[in-house]
Amino acid sequence: MALVCDTGMWDRETPAINHPIRLLQLLVDVGGVTDPLVLAAAALHDVLEDCEVGFPELEAQFGTEVAGVVFELSDPPHLDKMAMRAWAVETAPRLSLPARLVKLADKTVNLNDLIDWPPAGWSDVRKASYFDWSAEVIARIRGTHDALELAFDAAYSRRPIP
């Protein structure tokens, strides 16, 4: 599978592969997660959104289960930012357990990255808005995994106060 991806993370310099690696570290080291389905989905969670890969190709390469979890974690195309955020909050309770674990790790890594490697041009207001939306999504899937939720809460405690 040729992976043609968005070129990098928010700062546009860190290679995009660092992001899924950080999710895997969190899931394994903090979460004690060993389920290969969760770890494969974490590694691949952004490819439908950010890469020139479609569901059939992902399914052919990694199987229906992994592709299904990645699909759960992918924003529907053609929604604007506000609609996408509302959709994520609304649909979070319907996520499968593997998808919830990846979602917890993704939001935690994203919040920490926003503080540690802030993207150029993001004001504190914009960062705080991302923090608040992330907390809304995670609030809908509380009770999934204690250690990962604590890690999310620690990340959220770094929210900028505009």
| Cβ nearer to Zn ion, comparing 84 with 161 | 84
Give one DSSP letter per residue of 1-37, joined into a string: ----B-SBSTTSSSBTTHHHHHHHHIIIIIT----HH
Q: Does position 106 bind Zn ion by CB under 5 A? A: yes
Rule CB under 5 A: is residue 113 a binding residue for Zn ion?
Answer: no
Active site residue 49: yes
Active-site option among 50, 57, 59, 75: 50
Interface region with Zn ion, contact rule CB under 5 A, candidates 4-12, 34-42, 43-51, 58-66 = 43-51
Nearer to Zn ion, 5 or 97 (CB): 5
Helices (H), the chain: 18-25, 36-44, 47-50, 55-62, 64-72, 81-91, 97-116, 124-139, 146-156
Catalytic residue of the set 49, 65, 75, 136: 49
**Residues catalogued as catalytic:** 49-50
